[in-house]
Every structure is written in C-alpha cells, then in structure tokens.
Amino acid sequence: MALTTSQPTRSPSGAPAKRGTGTRATRVLGVAVILGIVWLVLFGLVISPEDAVQGESVRILYVHVPSAWLAYLAFVVTAVSSAAYLWRRTRSLTWDRLAAASAEVGVLFMAITLVTGSLWGRITWGTFWTWDARLTTTAFLFVTYVGYLAVRGLGGSHDQRARRSAVLALLAVLQIPLVHLSVELWNSLHQEASVLDSGGDVQMDGLMLFTLLVGVVAFTLMYAWLVLHRQRVLMMQDALDDHGLDIALEQRRGEGTP
C-alpha cells in the first residue's frame, strides 16, 4: 500500500503559505484576554458590592461602560487609520485594512453597548428603549458605522474602496463628541458621568471603580486581539482577490497532471 504525505500549502509565488492568523504574540494576548474576562466576571458578579441606589443592576455597567469606551476608541482608530491612508506619505492598504478591522470590532462593541444599555434601562426606567438624547445619538452612530461597512462592500478596486471608506470614516467620527456630550447638551434621562463628576471628584466606591477598570483593561485587550486577527484576514482576502486567477490556473494545471 502506497503511503502519501501531505504537502504544505503554497502561495502563488511558490513560498509555503502560513495557515491561520495567529502568532505567538496573539496567542499570549489571547490568554491575557481570557484571564481578564475571568477576572471581570469574578469581581463583577461576586466580589464587587451592589450599588446603594441601583442595587444589583449596577453590575451591567461593568460591561456597558467599557463597551462604550472601546467603541469610541475603535472608531477613532478607524478615523486615524483612514487619515493615514489619505496622506500621500503614509498611503498604504495596510492602513485601510486596519481601519476596516477596527470599525468591525467597534460595531460589535457598540451593539453590546446598546443591548446592555437597554437591559439597564428596563430595570431603571421600566422600558427597554426611549428616544433619549444619549440613546438616539448612540443608535445613529451605530447605524452610521454599519453603513461604513456596507460602503466598503461596494465594487471597485482596493484603492477605490479605501478612498471612499476613508472619507466616510473621517465624517462619521465627528459624531463621537456629540454622543459623549449629549447628556450635557440636552435634558437626558441617561445618568451623567459614572466615575467623575464635573468637579473631578470620584463618584464610585473604590472596589466598584476597580472592577470597572478591570473591565476596561479586559475589553481593550480583547479589542486589540480581535483587530489583529481581523486585519490579517482582510489582508488574505485582498491577496486572494489579487491572485485568485493565478491560483485557479495553477489548480487547473494540477488537475491535468497524471
């Protein structure tokens, strides 16, 4: 009986192709994310006390607040990366892919923000949704970046995709200050700053504040892990678009080999 050995997958250039998007660094980062999430669950559900006013519902904020801040961060990274692509000295599709990856992860965190906010609103206000200034502007920001991702899926070359997406990203990011200041600009039901008041005084119990910071750190690590993997997937998709015909021809030639 003949023995066969599997051959490593090769790229169109003939070099062995790497499988997957992970590296030693991302695996270490992934472990850190798991530890951070476990730490957050332990402190958020067990160790941290309930709030004197909000009771047990305060535990939702340990996910809600970090998600909102990470969505802001993700959309800012998208805008900065888009600006770097538009600037001739730094123009590279790497910036475009980073912008896209960050926007996708930002949309995920913004969705978590809306869901957890609705759950908190049901407990606090008695309803899942109200057309409050903060909620409305946040929902509009979410829809805008879903639209950004849709625009990226339109036809055209990689550079055409990158240019139109970059312009839209720079316009969309202007909504973030409006969302963040909506509580102060309008008569909003949404509570004001949970950590610091306008005078800079801490408004949270020490252990609750620590738990919230754990959530921010854990979610930031998760954001970095997701963006690293996603932008590598986008890079491989672009490479497949560029070399897909070469790969198809190579496979066709292989089928004719006895």
- Asked if residue 120 lies in contact with residue 55, where contact means CB atoms within 8 angstroms, the answer is no
Spell out the residues 6+ positions from residue 78 whose beta carbon is closer than 8 angstroms to its own: 99, 100, 102, 103, 106, 145, 148, 169, 173
pLDDT in tens, 73-85: 999 999 999 999 9
Residue 98 has pLDDT above 90, yes or no: yes
Q: What is the pLDDT of residue 1?
A: 38
Please report how many Cα atoms fall inside a 13 Å half-sphere around the Cα of residue 187, on the Cβ side: 0
Closest by CA to 110, choosing from 80, 83, 82, 149, is 149
Question: How far apart are alpha carbons 179 and 137 in whole angstroms?
Answer: 5
- Entry pTM: 0.81
Find tokens 């200041």 and name the residue. Answer: 181
pLDDT in tens, 170-227: 999 999 988 878 766 666 555 555 554 544 455 667 888 899 999 999 999 999 999 9
Q: What is the pLDDT of residue 11?
A: 46
Closest by CA to 117, choosing from 45, 74, 65, 176, is 65
Residue 100 has pLDDT above 90, yes or no: yes
Residue 2 has pLDDT above 50, yes or no: no
HEC per residue, 245-256: HHHHHHHHHHHC
Of these ranges, 56-60, 81-85, 178-182, 246-250, the one predicted with the greatest mean pLDDT is 81-85
Q: What is the pLDDT of residue 124?
A: 80
